[in-house]
């Protein structure tokens, strides 16, 4: 087995960590690998906030949907979609003179710039996750960093064109976490289609996520199957409504 492929195939989310700190040399190796991640036009439209403060970790544990493991993680990185650095670069390069001379239109970062920067940030994040895994360091993505934008903007001192896209907690897994089985994934034929998009059929929908269920599943009140349960628990939940509200605010701020 190829060692890199084996590392990827065995990776799982880790939410409980040993108290052992991650050595600085290991952190630097992860960051070195991350900085080699593919990026649009070699612009590197992302930034990282390395959360060292225990107080800040504890605050993020509350603002990111009350997840205590965030406060306990030895290493926490917040990945930002960042066009602020590029926009400042333009300003320091006196792009205004081009605009005033009529050589270029006056343009601010827009939706496409945000999506491109988000792609850069997530590619870098996944590269860091794989690099950490190869060193025996577990990790867990926290998408809830996109909630409570106003709070996170203040906590992390974020300028207008730098927004949180994901947060990753890193740490050495406990024995219980290490021995936990891999989470099942959907079969390849559901995910990979040839030449054009494949819509889910009623037959394919039957039992699609049954592998996620326990032997005695308990659905939320009113739900009669896992699809209804998922709709209630995730898609129409309070935390998803908060994420949607927060991202709308983020977009409005970005487009000012």
Query: What is the residue-level pLDDT of the chain in tens, covering all 256 positions?
Result: 799 999 999 999 999 999 999 999 999 999 999 999 999 999 999 999 999 999 999 999 999 999 999 999 999 999 999 999 999 999 999 999 999 999 999 999 999 999 999 999 999 999 999 999 999 999 999 999 999 999 999 999 999 999 999 999 999 999 999 999 999 999 999 999 999 999 999 999 988 988 888 777 888 999 988 899 999 989 999 999 999 999 999 999 888 7
What stretch of H or E contains 15? none
SS3 135: coil
Q: Look up residue 17 and give its DSSP letter.
A: B
159 CB-contact burial (10 Å; exposed 0-12 / middle 13-18 / buried 19+): middle
Q: Look up residue 213 and give its DSSP letter.
A: S
SS3 12: coil
What's this model's pTM, rounded to 2 decimal places? 0.94
Query: Token match 């990111």: residue?
Result: 64
Superfamily for the 3-187 domain: NADH Oxidase (3.40.109.10)
């Amino acid at each position: 087995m190829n060692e890199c492929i084996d590392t990827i195939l065995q990776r799982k989310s880790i939410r409980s960590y040993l108290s052992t700190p991650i050595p600085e040399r290991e952190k630097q190796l992860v960051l070195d690998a991350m900085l080699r991640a593919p990026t649009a036009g070699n612009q590197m439209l992302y930034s990282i906030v390395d959360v060292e403060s225990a107080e800040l970790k504890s605050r993020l544990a509350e603002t990111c949907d009350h997840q205590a493991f965030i406060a306990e993680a030895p290493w926490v990185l917040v990945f930002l979609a960042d066009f602020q650095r590029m926009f400042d670069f333009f300003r320091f390069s006196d792009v205004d003179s081009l605009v005033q001379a009529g050589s270029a239109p006056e343009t601010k970062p827009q939706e496409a710039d945000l999506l491109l920067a988000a792609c850069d940030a997530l590619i870098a994040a996944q590269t860091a996750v794989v690099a950490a895994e190869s060193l025996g360091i577990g990790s867990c993505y926290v998408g809830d960093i996109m909630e409570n934008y106003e709070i996170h903007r203040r906590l992390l001192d974020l300028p207008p064109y730098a927004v949180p896209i994901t947060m990753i907690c890193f740490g050495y897994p406990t024995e219980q976490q290490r021995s936990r089985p891999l989470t099942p994934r959907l079969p390849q034929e559901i995910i990979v289609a040839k030449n054009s998009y494949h819509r889910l059929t009623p037959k394919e929908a039957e039992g699609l996520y049954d592998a996620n269920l326990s032997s005695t599943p308990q659905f939320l009140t009113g739900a009669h199957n896992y699809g209804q349960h998922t709709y209630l628990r995730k898609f129409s939940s309070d935390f998803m409504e908060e994420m949607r509200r927060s991202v709308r605010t983020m977009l409005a701020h970005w487009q000012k």
